[in-house]
């Protein structure tokens, strides 16, 4: 059987940022708006997203995972253009999304992403509108498990949180999947391991306990805007690769690299799996080139 290919992009922070209404500029959004107009607009570019995504589409992946932060300040006017972008990436059958903290930036619009982008977020089963997460989608040999860590936070904080009810539902889901032979992938915006207190997943120790007990084959995340591979403890002394990726719109700045995406080729290999990772990203000339290949599993 041919390998199943899964592309992974994250954190497009889709430009341009619409002009906020004055009534929308309160509290945390003021800081976010100043940060965008002073800094971020220079490093998050629409032409970069477009060139990256057209290279990704040329690879014709079987499925595409997007691990959050489609938008910036969760202004009303950001949701529809983000949906249009998702539709340009592919239909919901071919694209799976989990939300990031910027998609639920402030309390007033924290419910909006789940309304507008539901077809890309929801699992295969008819979704309970109040409980989309954890979602489960089956594509080829994959079981894609989506969780939401997107919660509004105080200024200068970008933490994530799964919460008790989602964690309990996730445990039930992982327990069911443990008896199957699917290639289980956890899609989550926040990395499970983080040294940055203000950006961390606050209930990561509970999640790590679940992963150690039930396991998954791979974890894909965003949030950090850098290339990363961490190994998380799985059942019986096994290790689970947890892969991060730069922002899909980024020009390199500070310690953040240029935009890139991951392309995984996943196939059965005897009783186990083979999983090859290819990383492609833009260079200084804004051309997309292969950065490296890794035999992950
Ligand atoms: Fe982000």
Q: What separation in Å is there between the alpha carbon of 246 and the centre of ligand 1? A: 9
Pairing between strand 142-146 and 183-187?
A: parallel
Distance 137 CA to ligand 1 centre (A): 24
Residue 127 has pLDDT above 70, yes or no: no
Distant-in-sequence, close-in-space partners of 11: CB < 8 Å, separation ≥ 6: 67, 68, 69, 100, 222, 223, 225, 245, 246, 247, 248, 249, 250
Strands lying side by side in the sheet with 239-244: 135-139, 142-146, 183-187, 218-220, 239-244, 228-233
Q: What is the DSSP string of the chain?
A: -PPEEEEEE----PSPPPPPPGGG--THHHHHHHHIIIIIHHHB-HHHHHHHHHHHHHT--SEEEE-S--SSS--HHHHHHHHHHHHHH--TTTEEE---GGGG-SGGGTTHHHHHTHHHHS-SSPPBTTB--SEEEEETTEEEEE--------TT---B---HHHHHHHHHHHHHHTTS--EEEEE-SS-SS-S-GGGSBTTHHHHHHHHHHH--SEEE--SS-S-EEEEEE-GGG-EEEEEE---TTBPPBTTBPPPEEEEEEEEEETTEEEEEEEEEEE-TTS-EEEEEEEE--
Summarize pLDDT for 29-59 with one digit per residue, the tens: 999 999 999 999 999 999 999 999 999 999 9
Q: How far is the CA of 294 from the centre of ligand 1 (A)?
A: 24
Chain segment 148-203, per-residue pLDDT in tens:
999 999 999 999 999 999 999 999 999 999 999 999 999 999 999 988 999 999 99
Range of the domain at 288: 4-295
CA of 15 to the centre of ligand 1 (A): 13
How many whole angstroms from 208 Cα to the centroid of ligand 1? 22
Cα–Cα distances (Å) from 88 to 171, 174, 200, in that order, read: 34, 32, 31
Task: State the number of CA atoms in the 13 A half-sphere of 99 facing the CB.
Answer: 34
> How far, in Å, is the centroid of ligand 1 from the Cα of 189?
9
Q: If you measure from the C-alpha of residue 201 to the centroid of ligand 1, how many angstroms do you get, rounded to a whole number?
A: 14
CA of 59 to the centre of ligand 1 (A): 24
Q: Give the pLDDT of residue 26.
A: 86
> What is the 54 CA–ligand 1 centroid distance (Å)?
21
Which residues are paired to 150 by β-bridges? none
User: Could you tell me whether strands 4-9 and 288-295 are parallel, antiparallel, or unpaired per DSSP bridges?
Assistant: unpaired
List the CATH number of the domain containing 131.
3.60.21.10
- Residue 156 Cα to ligand 1 midpoint, Å, equals 14
Local confidence band at 89 (pLDDT 50, 70, 90 cut-offs): very high
**56 burial type by CB count under 10 A (0-12 exposed, 13-18 middle, 19+ buried):** buried
Does the pLDDT value for residue 128 go beyond 90? no
Question: 78 C-alpha to center of ligand 1: Å?
Answer: 15
Q: In Å, how far are 18, 164, 167 from 203, measured between CA atoms?
A: 33, 9, 9
Task: Quickly state the pLDDT bin for 264 (edges 50, 70, 90).
Answer: very high
pTM above 0.85, yes or no: yes
pLDDT at 194: 87
Centroid of ligand 1 to alpha carbon of 267 (angstroms): 30
Give me ligand 1 centre to Cα 223, in Å: 4
Query: How close is the Cα of 178 to the center of ligand 1, in Å?
Result: 31
Measured in Å, residue 273 CA sits from the centre of ligand 1 at 31
Give distance in angstroms: CA of 36 to centre of ligand 1: 13
Give 225 Cα–ligand 1 centroid separation in angstroms: 6
Q: Give me the number of domains the chain comprises.
A: 1
pLDDT bin (cut points 50, 70, 90) of residue 1 is low
């Amino acid at each position: 059987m041919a390998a199943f290919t899964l592309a992974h992009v994250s954190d497009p922070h889709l430009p341009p940022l619409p002009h906020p209404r004055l009534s929308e500029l309160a509290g945390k959004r003021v800081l976010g708006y100043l940060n965008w107009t002073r800094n971020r607009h220079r490093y998050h570019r629409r032409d970069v997203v477009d060139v990256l995504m057209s290279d990704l589409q040329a690879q014709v992946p079987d499925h595409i995972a997007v691990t959050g932060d489609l938008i910036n300040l969760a202004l009303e006017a950001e949701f529809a253009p983000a949906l249009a972008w998702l539709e340009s990436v592919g239909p919901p059958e071919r694209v799976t999304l989990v939300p990031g903290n910027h998609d639920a930036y402030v309390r007033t619009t924290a419910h909006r992403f789940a309304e507008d982008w539901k077809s890309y977020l929801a699992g295969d089963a008819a979704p309970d509108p109040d409980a989309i997460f954890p979602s489960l989608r089956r594509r080829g040999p994959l079981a894609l498990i989506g969780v939401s860590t997107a919660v509004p936070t105080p200024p200068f904080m970008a933490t994530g949180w799964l919460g008790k009810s989602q964690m309990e539902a996730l445990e039930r889901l992982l327990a069911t999947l443990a008896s199957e032979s699917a290639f289980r992938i956890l899609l989550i915006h926040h990395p499970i391991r983080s040294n940055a207190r203000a950006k961390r997943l606050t209930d990561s120790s509970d999640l790590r306990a679940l992963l150690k007990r039930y396991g998954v084959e791979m974890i894909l995340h965003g949030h950090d805007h850098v290339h990363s591979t961490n190994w998380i403890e799985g059942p019986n002394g096994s290790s689970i690769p947890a892969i991060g990726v730069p922002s899909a719109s980024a020009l390199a700045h500070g310690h953040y690299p240029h935009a890139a995406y991951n392309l995984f080729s996943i196939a059965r290999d005897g009783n186990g799996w083979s999983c090859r990772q290819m990383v492609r990203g833009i260079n200084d000339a804004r051309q997309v080139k292969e950065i490296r290949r890794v035999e992950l599993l």
